[in-house]
Structure 1
Amino acid sequence: MTQSEWIPSGVDISVPSVARTYDYMLGGAHNFAVDRALGERIESMMPGLRNAARVNRAFLGRVVRFMVDQGVRQFLDIGSGIPTVGNVHEVAQAAAPGCRVLYVDRDPVAVAHSELMLVGNDDAAVVQADMREPAAILGSDAARRLLDFEQPIGVLMLLMLHWVPDEADPRALVTRYRDALAPGSYLAITHVTGDNQSDNLSDATDAIKQSNSPDQVNLRSHAEITRMFDGFELVAPGLVGCGEWRPGGPGDIASEPDMNMLVYAGVGRKL
């Protein structure tokens, strides 16, 4: 498939997208020159950033398998991004055939490729929406078809909430999703933090600002991210560096110590 065939109409390829830049950092092919340029620039400021992206992706696999082990059979992945190896439905359905998955992303390239990936899979779908519109997401036809809100759901908000500015009140947004869930549901969050980071992180966030991307990083502390789990009981080991959440081997941890602590990861069970 040529690039012109997979670019949805209306996509401005002169402005970088976080979803496409993340795809590039993971070694994907569905990104443009402007996304690659941004990825190279921020990695030059924070060597090892690709490993941080890889560690976050490895966490996705671990947490989905953890939720399946707890009996969860339906998942809501908010900010799912461009499909790559080890997507939620692939991990969940391999562990327990019949698991249902709803992906949500606002990026048209991410949605277009998710639709292609899910052709023939009746147990998974994608909705194009902004996470700041919970009513539209939770009330969508796809959500009504795939998700039973009377039963536990595994919700993933991975590398998502730090794109939500304080004025949009990310904590209140999480609460609105929490209130729609049955007891026994799980929430997984990964979130970039400035805790224990050098000035390189500020340089990288400034580079994103200068790129004119509509997505801007909002760094938050351990305490601020912990409060997003209000109404959930954090499961062990709590809110920790992404590479420290139940690693299964060396591939789950970055070789650069800073990259293991760039992103906090946590999983909570709704009480």
Structure 2
Amino acid sequence: MKEAQVVEDESTLEPSRVPDAEKARVLTLGECAALLASPDTGAPLALSKDGKALVAGDESFPIIDGLPLLFPASVQQFAGPSRLDVPGGGEDALRKYMHISGLKFAREPTNSQHTDINYLKHVYRARGLLRHARGTVLDVGCDSPQVSRSQFPESAAYIGLEPTYEDRSEFRIIGISEFLPFRDESLDNVAILTTLDHALDYHRSVDEAWRVLKPGGTLYLATLIWTHNAELHHDHTHFHHFRDFEILGALRRFEIQRLLRYSWKSNTHRFAWYLSATK
């Protein structure tokens, strides 16, 4: 493991240090269709003749207002016109997991305002980490692509992935990190920026990033690391308060190239890691 570079960055508290930047170009559905695969079988997907679905054999995934819904089949049936609503009960473990996720995210807001100073600090740090990204980049948990793609350079071809689709004004792939709907070794970069703690099975999420990355591809990860006071029972939106060894264990197959440690809100019980790692 590379030793973390501790960055003294209090100056980034000034919003003026986070100027507007050129944004990565968002790929269209037509441009990224050749990269997509069934989240269940891994079979390559193609647009149906009427353009209303992505299909592979007997598998069919709907496209709603231009957004492809690529959830695993066991929960896809609960995808309504505006959101995924998985009921509780039953014997299917994935359904139970997705039901719990729905309960977690039922409390709003789940994300910081884009004018929040700590969000601006994150954008500043992420741009520094991602400045050399080239080729296709999958942004896992992208929220608003219009906002999130500002973290990526013009040299990146941007694909956002997000499980929510109430707002359908911006193109993104609708799916979950544990079942990335992309073909094996199809992407140059995967970014998981402050979203891994929202995934219950974070090991699976990281393993999925490994699967879809090309050999030599880069994983960019930003997450909080907790040293103490890590109890979860007061946290409405996160499944994890990571310790450092948990992240290092999940990244066991990757080679960490750069690891930056930042303070977070002047807290003493947690700090932020921003890292890049290659497959």
Instruction: Give the aligned partner of residue 43 of structure 2.
Output: none
Shift of residue 133 of structure 1?
Answer: 1.5
Superposed CA RMSD: 3.4
Instruction: Give the aligned partner of residue 104 of structure 1.
Output: 161
Consecutive unaligned residues in structure 1, runs of 5 or more: 1-7, 28-49, 116-125, 140-147, 210-214, 244-252
Shift of residue 104 of structure 1?
Answer: 0.3
Q: Does 1:114 align with 2:170?
A: yes
Deviations 1:45-70 (A, max 9, x none): xxxxx544333222332222132xxx
Instruction: Give the aligned partner of residue 206 of structure 2.
Output: 174
Deviations 1:12-60 (A, max 9, x none): 9xx8848963544323xxxxxxxxxxxxxxxxxxxxxx54433322233
Selected match of 1:154 from 178, 186, 189: 189
TM-score, normalised on structure 2? 0.54
Q: State how far apart, in whole Å, the 1-side matches of 2:136 and 2:107 are.
A: 24
Quick one: which amino acid aligns to residue 81 of structure 1?
Answer: D
What are the equivalent positions in structure 2 for 1:20-169 lying under 5 Å apart? 21=109, 23-27=111-115, 50-67=116-133, 72-83=134-145, 85=147, 87-88=148-149, 90=150, 92=152, 95-96=154-155, 99-109=156-166, 112-115=168-171, 126-134=172-180, 137-139=181-183, 149=185, 153-165=188-200, 168=201
- Structure holding more helix per residue: 1
Q: State how far apart, in whole Å, the 2-side matches of 1:158 and 1:219 are.
A: 15
Q: Does 1:263 align with 2:272?
A: yes
Instruction: Give the aligned partner of residue 186 of structure 1.
Output: 218
Percent identity, aligned pairs only, is: 13
Shift of residue 265 of structure 1?
Answer: 2.0
Match of 1:183, SS state, is strand
- Structure holding more strand per residue: 2
Quick one: which amino acid aligns to residue 114 of structure 1?
Answer: E
Instruction: Give the aligned partner of residue 59 of structure 2.
Output: none
Misfit runs of 4+, over 6 Å: none
Q: How many aligned positions are there?
A: 183
Change (3 A) 1:263 1:11: same
Change (3 A) 1:218 1:260: closer
Q: State how far apart, in whole Å, the 2-side matches of 1:161 and 1:127 are.
A: 17
Q: Find the structure with the greater CA-based Rg.
A: 2
Consecutive unaligned residues in structure 2, runs of 5 or more: 1-80, 86-102
Q: State how far apart, in whole Å, the 2-side matches of 1:260 and 1:53 are.
A: 19
Deviations 1:51-109 (A, max 9, x none): 44333222332222132xxxx21101111113454x32x454x533xx42211000224
CA contact (8 A) 2:199 2:205 kept: no
Deviations 1:222-266 (A, max 9, x none): 111112222221113x2x43x3xxxxxxxxx76x43289533221
